[in-house]
Structure 1
């Protein structure tokens, strides 16, 4: 998204822990000495389901591909120890299930925040397929110039990357990060291609159902089934489709001299 200064800014929607606390805005400062307060009264979010139950509104939103009737309460509160950034909190009651959502976008409607949170399951499934099927995060790129990173830094401690001053080492680190990002990007493209094959050719290619599945799908096969099929059949598909650009590139890179020698000897 873009802000008023035309610079890119990313907004997120997350699910908040049940024991999370937030803070009201500080009261108007009174005249006198002392530093102005950064926060107001502490609010235990989980208690609002009972203390302010009468203020909940009812709405019908799309969640997980179907219409759901939920009750919600939307509040703008401060969050974060020492940071006190204003977030939009949405308390959602769906039957007996209680959820607390938060968004960094204060202009987003509560119904939209609830709807966006429903995409979490699809996103998590995509990451699972990328990790377990495609191997998107199995990269092996490293550099001796890369310093050992720390999970937590002490207050005032500089970041290890900031301590790298040699330009050659800095360039090697940049190339390493570019290789990692390129690998993950290609894996994302591969995941999308596998999903497109599953969506478009599940009914046209019965061979996609060749492997044993305890609970086989009658409509669309999984990404894992498509990848197994491609591993077993991709070279045969190349041989049957010599007009493809990828097939021509492979043929141009092959060294066939030893094949000709074997044919002459026979």
Structure 2
């Protein structure tokens, strides 16, 4: 196992402009693999029996300018494409995406905001304070059992103000919603791994997500097909007819139709899965 890990980790050497930063990257990765609890940097220092002064050094490593998160993400995608046994349907890999709301006690932590809890579990409150994470993974393994290998995972809500701080802030402030960011990350993975199927639940079936999907599909040159469940309450409105009377206000909506009605004439063409 150790030679294999050494080979994989050395693929990231080009992402660091300084040798010392790369050494701390190796220590951080190994520490996250062998840690016995989830106390952040403290767990790494404790389980690797590092000197207590290494705590501050590790904190500075995460703020170092010797590496960038984007280069690490791109290298990780390339490593996955080369080394992982990817599941394919036809000639496409299978991506999986979902979001998770993690409750937090601290009200002044970065990224913590009030969120609605959609879970049907009666033991959970309707509203919680916490973080909203988004994750995208790819299915890997053998035909007997498949696993989801993470590709992206980050906070996707409550951090818009933080992203736009400092001199490196973009000219246009980042304001993409959670569902739009998931579509963008799916295309970022497909650009490296190839054409893909993207499995999402029906929460992500929204107009902004479909608009972003259409834009990325035209600009990226890769094919990413979304597989999700349609909402039963989806309705479509016809274009309202303009009125010719002077001073009349044009109607904003015309006759509406349920999405179910479009499938009823051809329902005999669909097969129920066994």
State the TM bucket, normalised to the shorter chain. under 0.3
Larger radius of gyration: 1
TM-score by length of 2: 0.21
Decide which structure has greater helix share.
1
TM-score by length of 1: 0.21
